[in-house]
Structure 1
Amino acid sequence: MAEFLTHAGLAARHGFFTRRGGVSVGAYATLNCGLRSEDDPAAITENRARAARALGADPAGLRGLRQVHGPAVVEAGDPWENLPEADAMVTRRPGIALGIITADCAPVLFHDGEAGVIGAAHAGWRGAASGVLEATLTAMEALGAARGRITAVVGPCIAQASYEVRADLRDAVGQARFFAPGRDDAHFQFDLPGYCVARLQAAGVAAEALGVDTLADEARFFSHRRRTLAGGGPLGHQLSAIML
């Protein structure tokens, strides 16, 4: 069965899926849900169907995006003919599962239980800095949500201890408090989940992080940085999804 984590702060059905419980093999073992990888397409389809069913959703109701590390948000409804280029989705339609794929970036799930509105966002440093989290809140408000009622959870992503960056990234983010000293004066350790939580809280919503490091936990999670440190090769992606 597709394995996933949950957080008590989200009342809607949701799952931060691990890499366990799928049918893919090799570097993609086993629950690779990445739509743009070179994995067997039939295996990806089955993996995503298993994840949907684990949440109690019809696999046909699982929506995905062509994620581009930007601030664009779309409303999910009827199936799309082509994947939208966006990094977040919102909906108020029951039975639709909003699915974000990650491999170190932060998956963020949102819920306003009173309004019956959910959201899901892919937030790497670039997307978070460009405002994708705040844009998701604005899109939820357009469907009747209120920031004072929204809860948000930052799922498994690369943790500060694992995320070494250079000064150019620190300067692009522009908030020194999220950077700890690194191995020398040219390197820093970036707190991506802390940065996402802080932006959400500053925007007026209750937000927490799951506190799971994708790079450090190879048994449960794919990691882009781990792959890079190993010299490259194929890369799988885990899924995070939420539905009404």
Structure 2
Amino acid sequence: MTVDVVRSAQLDGIRHGFLGRSGGVSTGIYAGLNVGLGSDDDREAILENRRRAVAAVAPGAKLVTPHQVHSATAITVTEPFPDDARPHADALVTDRPGLLIGILTADCVPVLFADRAAGIVGATHAGWKGALGGVTDATLDAMVALGADRTRIVAAIGPCIARASYEVDTSFRDRFTAHDPENERFFREGRRDDHHQFDIESYVAHRLATAGVTRIDALGLDTYALANRFYSYRRATHRAEPGYGRQMSVIAAD
């Protein structure tokens, strides 16, 4: 089975991809292309899956991923770092040819960025904490600091949990409305009392637009519902599984 690579028209001509779970060597609950170094999957299987991910998008490139902590921290990458010395961050930006920067998700929102003219790209992991904290804003700031022009930056939002699959309680919603009362529009009445369906994809798109990004591609792929294509933390939790895999979203500056 080949590696499932979803691409965005906004990033046409740039080596990038939102990868699914097909095409890997992991088995059991991790079956497929699990690239999560923090999972309890077999280490050699994870490393082979990561090699296959690179080969599917940017053969010969050096893969760089952070140790994700649901922060709003974006860092600039100038050279590869060892897998066991990954910096704690949730977004990477670079202008260095030969590097393939990536982030991992399993329901959270992956965002890939590019300023073609400047040769600068970014990759962001936006869980609800990072999204609310401004991780996409931090990514854009880091790209601009590197020489990107905000008016040229395009963004693509990859597979993530959809509103229909993302039920949250009222205290969760209140965190967002306390930040901005207008955020209430990203929540709809849930199937249970005092619960709501959260559209995190639209919320991230809103944050991008508010920050000045005018070209945004939201792919609308639900990681929870598409069990054969994507890993999902929430689905694994609902199934009482002891672990879950992660998929990767990657982009190269060259």
Shorter-chain TM-score bucket reads over 0.9
> Shift of the alpha carbon at 1:169?
1.1
| CA distance in structure 2 between the partners assigned to 1:48 and 1:232 by the alignment | 23
Q: Which 4+ residue blocks in structure 1 deviate beyond 4 angstroms?
A: none
> Shift of the alpha carbon at 1:198?
0.6
Contact 2:58 2:252 in 1 (8 A): no
Task: Provide the aligned C-alpha RMSD in A.
Answer: 1.0
SS in 1 for 2:18: strand
> 2:230 aligns to what?
221
> Shift of the alpha carbon at 1:77?
2.0
SS in 1 for 2:228: coil
The aligned amino acid for 1:162 is S
The aligned amino acid for 2:238 is L
> 2:242 aligns to what?
233
How many residue pairs match? The answer is 243
> Shift of the alpha carbon at 1:225?
0.6
Is 2:100 aligned against 1:97? yes
SS in 2 for 1:188: strand
TM-score (norm 1): 0.97
Query: Do the aligned partners of residues 160 and 239 (structure 1) sit closer, same or farther apart at CA in structure 2, a change above 3 Å counting?
Result: same
Contact 2:77 2:92 in 1 (8 A): yes
- Structure 2: gaps spanning 5 or more residues: 178-182
SS in 2 for 1:9: helix
> 2:69 aligns to what?
68
> 1:149 aligns to what?
152
Is 2:183 aligned against 1:182? no
**How far does the alpha carbon of each residue in 1:61-84 deviate from its partner, in whole angstroms, 9 at most, with x for none?**
100111000101111122224100
Is 2:146 aligned against 1:138? no
Contact 1:67 1:86 in 2 (8 A): yes
> Shift of the alpha carbon at 1:235?
0.6
> 1:41 aligns to what?
43
The aligned amino acid for 1:2 is V
- Structure 1: gaps spanning 5 or more residues: none
> Shift of the alpha carbon at 1:227?
0.8
> 1:3 aligns to what?
4
**17, 29, 39: which one aligns with 2:19:** 17
Is 2:204 aligned against 1:202? no
Contact 1:87 1:121 in 2 (8 A): yes
| CA distance in structure 2 between the partners assigned to 1:235 and 1:95 by the alignment | 30
Is 2:174 aligned against 1:171? yes
| CA distance in structure 2 between the partners assigned to 1:204 and 1:134 by the alignment | 10
| CA distance in structure 1 between the partners assigned to 2:53 and 2:96 by the alignment | 19
